[in-house]
């Protein structure tokens, strides 16, 4: 019998072992998944064109998957440092904020006017119709989030990932605002729903017009202005990736992670992610159904769904005193994330953001997303595309009979049409996997009666029932030449329920669908209780293939669904049992595809003729410089197609990116094109080119599928064995202070308490110092200038586990300098939360020689509480306020009570300070340019009780650059 409160230890299952093996393969530097800066590449291979058009790009998607990988590694090992390192890398290289290095990557965001977020420009059906005129035809509505985000965080610098990064600076644009980074922010798709990756023009997100058209940069390819385009920066996030990052941190917290610093970052990301809920130009939802949108106020421009993106930008240089922001009018089913919405809204989930209305917004979004999926579920069970608040991207009137969802128009392929955005089966697995997770979360928590639970269960159950008819392990489905599944009589399967697909035995193979065809539309939404099953909305399932990433996501959907049925009913339902068994069979067959670097299959790329096709549109007269040194579009162009509405030329993929021909796989592709591609029939006569790709997201999806199956179905292993003491604590840290050492460590699974042990010799013997139930302890029984060695062990009812790795620290007294000066301080500013910091000083000459005040500096340490530019004022000085100036300095590493100091300097007119004399009053006041509040209570140099002048050693003084008074924090 197990002791009460003891977590039984499980033997490692096959799936756990395989997860950890894949983890090692992904993290092995020899395998090439990460760049020298530690950034995950989209793929190891470089000759690839899909969403990223070069393999050594990265995406916000890849980062979000990296976090998920590290969450499950932390679950198995209790080592969460890898998760934190991944977040740090994400913050450094793909969230464009000043991550502590002083480089402002959103340099003019403070100029943003929430009453006028952006200037309207219509989207167009063909790239040939661009640039689009910045007409302002429809005035933007107001942004209701900006003020509360400023109040919460002290500034409005968006804490979201930009979606695309040129990891190795292959395009050559460089990182203008952070030149120490090799990785550079770039963008591609900018020209409407028909612009595919084959038709996009890569360009820098920080455009000072060094590249592109002389005097215009790349801006004039996309938008048309009356004036010459200004130098500018601009970023775009993919909402699904940031939501997946938050989803990962939710699971980390659920599985034992408790570092509030990083959980707070996830909350902050969720706070800003709300911009993805807003119409592109903040127009009222549903108001444009007749072609006449109404500018939004408050939150009536909020559709509470995850739009395709949000974007923001502003000016560069001395005249760059402007900024803008847009949301997205288009919502795609594959981008919704009900787990993130749950995590950011439910008190039990623990990630509600700090802004006052964020929790309510995300609670509304959770229900709205579940309604959205219910509305979009076809009669077969597949999920249709989505909806838009801006029909045609230009607020056109809805065609008669268009189905609507809260006033938004049904769109079978939101955002892009080449290929149609909802044809890929992966869009199905991504969204429904998350709904299956929510079904499990709610069932496990005992919520089995709410509408949210009912919708999550119904959506997942219908989808699983449909999809399992088209997924196979150890057998191969029969199809015709166009990819349609066939029944036993050789007839095409064109939908319907429970079709009998003809198969042949194929041991070791797996097959999942690749594409869907859509017809009809859903019924206009009138609430969950009125949903009748969408009898007029149909999906035809096609093109079985062996996509490893889709397989991983699909297995997780099966796994969470099966676990949810057991959590709800106490045992697997019939469909739940079938889902669990299929998940196991798929995982077992997939493992045979491991080539030592990852799980991969050969892929036919019939679209790769487009490497050679002239189809990238440039308007007439446009010529500029690309980052690889070439002129674009160059001279090897053809006239554009007049039927597409433009007047210009077409260039090819290789005309724009000449360095692609140096790729190690280029000669193979070119030879295949020359010998197999038939330009008359537009087919590959001798077979399409085949490639093997180790995509990072795909490898993580399948790796985490093994882990989740183990965690949820195997219960972490093959069954209980004798319980044991917990593992050794990890990530032990020791920070020396004055007569104190601060210790911290990661929580250990199954631990009830921790024993802190100390020695004065490395390696021991150790003496028990304290037993605590938290993961921190401060040792105050130390003597300065003595080195101490510490280990920590964890204990539960079974016993005490092994010691942690040893750490050491040497406490040291903080010396107070003795010199020729001292500082006296007072303040009458007793309000710890207002928009100014006020203090008065006197500098006293305690030496025997006169001191020139121009050689003296005084520093006051505080926390800025929101990164915003600041202003220094000397309201009065006995030596003359014009002789007193101030500057602001950010600490290279924040310390307790301080991340900034302001430094007071004196001009030559301040004169000389004689021995025994003081300067008289110096009255200082500082504020932020946006007049947001400081939180002064914990500021290092502040003493609110010191209303009369007295010596104060927490304000420091320097003479000729040497510290002569006070203690630096």
Phi-psi category of residue 661: left, alpha or beta, with phi > 0 → left and psi -120 to 50 → alpha = alpha
The secondary structure of residue 596, as a DSSP letter, is S
Using DSSP's 3-state secondary structure scheme, residue 440 falls into helix
d(CA 94, CA 878): 49
Under a CB-based contact definition with an 8 Å cutoff, are residues 295 and 140 in contact?
Answer: yes
Q: Are strands 733-736 and 741-744 parallel, antiparallel or unpaired?
A: antiparallel
* Rounded Cα distance, 334 and 689, in Å: 29
3-class state of residue 670 by DSSP: helix
* Cα–Cα distance, 159 to 268 (Å, whole number): 7
**Helix, strand, coil percentages in the chain from 3-state DSSP, rounded to 5:** 30, 25, 45
C-alpha separations of 43 from 47, 738, 822 in Å:
9, 49, 60
Tell me how far CA of residue 70 lies from CA of 245, 251, 370, in angstroms.
11, 11, 28
State how far the alpha carbon of 110 is from the alpha carbons of 142, 268, 766, in Å.
16, 18, 54
Q: Catalytic one among 16, 61, 91, 105? A: 61
Q: Contacts by 531-538 with C-beta closer than 8 Å and gap 24+?
A: 531/374, 531/375, 533/379, 534/375, 534/377, 534/378, 534/379, 535/379, 536/379, 537/376, 537/377, 537/378, 537/379, 537/384, 538/378, 538/379, 538/380, 538/495
In this structure, the number of other CB atoms found within 10 A of the CB of residue 919 comes to 23
Tokens linked to 755: 């024993």
Q: Is 240 a catalytic residue?
A: yes
DSSP state at residue 752: S
Q: How far is CA 346 from the centre of its chain?
A: 21
In degrees and rounded to multiples of 5, residue 471 shows phi and psi of: -120, 135
Structure tokens at 288: 């444009």
302-332 in b/e form (b: 16+ CB < 10 A) is: bbbbbbbbbbbbbbbeeebeebbbbbbbbbb
Of the CA atoms within 13 Å of residue 261, those in its CB half-sphere come to 7
Asked if 439 and 561 count as a contact pair (C-beta separation under 8 A), the reply is yes
What letter does residue 738 receive in the DSSP assignment? S
Name beta bridge partners: 842.
824
Is the separation of the CB atoms in 333 and 384 below 8 Å? Answer: yes
CB neighbour list of residue 230: distance below 8 Å, 6 or more residues apart: 315, 316, 319, 320, 322
Question: How many Å apart are CA 724 and CA 6, to the nearest integer?
Answer: 8
Among 146, 166, 168, 240, the active-site one is 240
Nearest-Å Rg of the Cα atoms of the chain is 31
Active site residue 806: no
Altogether, the residues listed in the chain come to a count of: 969
| Pair 837, 936: CB distance under 8 Å | yes
Residue 566: how many other CB atoms lie within 10 Å: 20
Nearest partner of 597 among 210, 134, 117, 34, judged by Cα: 34
Q: How many CA atoms lie within 13 A of 762 on its CB side?
A: 7
CB 462 within 8 A of CB 377: yes
Tell me which residues are annotated as active site.
61, 240
């Amino acid at each position: 019998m197990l002791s009460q409160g003891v977590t039984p230890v499980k033997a490692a299952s096959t799936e756990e072992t395989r997860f950890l093996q894949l983890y090692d393969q992904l993290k092995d530097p020899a395998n090439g998944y990460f760049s020298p800066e530690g950034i995950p590449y989209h793929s190891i291979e470089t000759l690839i064109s899909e969403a990223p058009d070069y393999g050594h790009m990265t995406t916000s998607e890849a980062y979000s998957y990296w976090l998920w990988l590290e969450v499950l590694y932390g679950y198995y090992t209790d080592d969460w440092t890898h998760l934190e390192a991944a977040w740090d890398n994400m913050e450094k290289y793909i969230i464009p904020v000043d991550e502590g290095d002083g480089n402002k990557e959103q340099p003019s965001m403070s100029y943003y006017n929430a009453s006028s977020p952006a200037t309207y420009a219509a989207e167009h059906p063909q790239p040939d119709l661009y640039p689009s005129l910045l007409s302002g035809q429809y005035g933007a509505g107001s942004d209701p989030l900006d003020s509360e985000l400023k109040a919460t965080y002290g500034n409005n610098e968006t804490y979201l990932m930009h979606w695309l990064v040129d990891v190795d600076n292959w395009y050559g644009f460089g990182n203008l605002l952070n030149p120490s980074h090799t990785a550079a922010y770039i963008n591609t798709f900018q020209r409407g729903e028909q612009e595919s990756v084959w038709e996009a023009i890569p360009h820098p997100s920080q455009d000072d017009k060094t590249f592109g058209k002389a005097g215009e940069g790349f801006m004039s390819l996309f938008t048309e202005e009356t004036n010459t385009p200004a130098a500018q920066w601009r970023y775009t996030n993919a909402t699904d990736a940031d939501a997946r990052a938050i989803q990962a941190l939710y699971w980390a917290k659920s599985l034992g992670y408790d570092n509030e610093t990083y959980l707070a970052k996830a909350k902050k990301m969720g706070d800003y992610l709300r911009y993805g809920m807003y119409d592109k130009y903040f127009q009222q939802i549903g108001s444009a159904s007749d072609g006449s949108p109404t500018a939004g106020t408050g939150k009536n421009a909020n559709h509470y769904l995850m739009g395709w993106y949000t974007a923001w930008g502003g000016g560069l240089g001395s005249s760059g005193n402007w900024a803008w922001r847009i949301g997205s009018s288009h919502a795609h089913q594959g981008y919704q994330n009900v787990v993130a919405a749950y995590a950011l809204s439910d008190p039990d989930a623990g990630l509600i953001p700090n802004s006052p209305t964020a929790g309510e917004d995300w609670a509304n979004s959770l229900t709205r997303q579940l309604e959205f999926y219910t509305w979009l579920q076809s009669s077969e069970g597949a999920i249709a595309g989505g909806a838009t608040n801006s029909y045609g991207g230009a607020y056109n009137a809805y065609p008669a009979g268009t189905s609507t969802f809260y006033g938004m128009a049904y769109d079978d392929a939101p955002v892009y049409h080449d290929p149609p955005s909802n044809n890929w089966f992966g869009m199905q697995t991504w969204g429904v996997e998350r709904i299956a997770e929510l079904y499990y979360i709610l069932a496990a928590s005992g919520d089995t009666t709410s509408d949210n639970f009912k919708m999550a269960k119904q959506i997942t159950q219908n989808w699983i029932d449909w999809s399992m008819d088209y997924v196979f392990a150890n057998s191969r489905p029969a199809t015709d030449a166009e990819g349609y599944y066939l029944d036993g009589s050789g007839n095409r399967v064109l939908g319907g329920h429970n079709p009998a697909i003809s198969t042949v035995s194929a041991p070791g193979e797996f097959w999942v669908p690749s594409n869907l065809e859509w017809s009809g539309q859903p019924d206009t939404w009138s609430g969950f209780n009125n949903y009748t099953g969408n009898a007029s909305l149909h999906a035809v399932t096609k093109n079985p293939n062996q996509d490893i990433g889709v397989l991983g996501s699909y297995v997780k959907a099966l796994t969470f669904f099966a676990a949810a049925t057991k959590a709800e009913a106490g045992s697997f339902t019939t469909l739940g049992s079938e889902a669990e068994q299929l998940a196991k069979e798929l995982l077992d067959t997939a493992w045979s595809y491991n080539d030592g670097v990852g799980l991969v299959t050969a892929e036919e790329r019939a679209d790769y003729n487009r490497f050679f096709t002239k189809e990238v549109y440039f308007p007439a007269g446009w010529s500029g410089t690309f980052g690889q040194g070439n002129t674009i579009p160059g001279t090897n162009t053809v006239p554009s197609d007049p039927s597409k509405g433009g007047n210009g030329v077409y260039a090819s993929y290789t005309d724009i990116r000449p360095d692609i021909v140096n790729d190690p796989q280029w000669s193979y592709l070119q030879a295949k094109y020359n010998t197999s591609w038939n330009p008359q029939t537009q087919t590959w006569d001798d077979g399409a080119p085949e490639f093997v790709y180790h995509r990072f997201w795909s490898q993580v999806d399948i790796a985490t599928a093994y882990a989740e199956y183990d965690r949820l179905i195997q219960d972490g292993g093959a069954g209980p064995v004798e319980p044991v003491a917990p593992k050794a604590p990890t990530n032990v840290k020791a920070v020396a202070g004055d007569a104190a050492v601060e210790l911290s460590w990661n929580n250990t699974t199954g631990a009830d308490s921790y024993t802190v042990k100390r020695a004065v010799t490395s390696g021991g013997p150790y003496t028990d110092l304290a037993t605590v139930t938290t993961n921190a302890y401060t040792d105050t029984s130390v003597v300065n200038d003595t080195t101490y060695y510490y280990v920590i062990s964890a204990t539960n009812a079974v016993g005490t586990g092994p010691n942690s790795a040893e750490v050491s620290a040497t406490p040291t007294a903080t010396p107070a300098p003795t010199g020729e000066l001292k500082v006296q301080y007072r303040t009458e500013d007793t309000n710890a939360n207002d928009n100014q910091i006020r203090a008065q000083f006197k500098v006293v000459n305690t030496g025997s020689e006169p001191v020139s005040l121009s050689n003296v500096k005084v520093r006051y340490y505080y926390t800025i509480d929101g990164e915003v530019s600041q202003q220094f004022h000397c309201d009065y000085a006995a030596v003359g306020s014009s002789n007193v100036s101030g500057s602001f300095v950010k600490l290279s590493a924040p310390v307790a009570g301080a991340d900034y100091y302001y430094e007071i300097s004196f001009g030559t007119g301040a004169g000389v300070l004689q021995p025994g004399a003081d300067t008289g009053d110096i009255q200082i006041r500082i504020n932020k340019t946006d007049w947001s509040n400081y939180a002064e209570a914990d500021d290092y140099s502040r003493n609110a009780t010191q209303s009369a002048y007295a010596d104060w050693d927490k304000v420091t003084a320097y003479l000729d650059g040497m510290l002569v008074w006070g203690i630096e924090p």
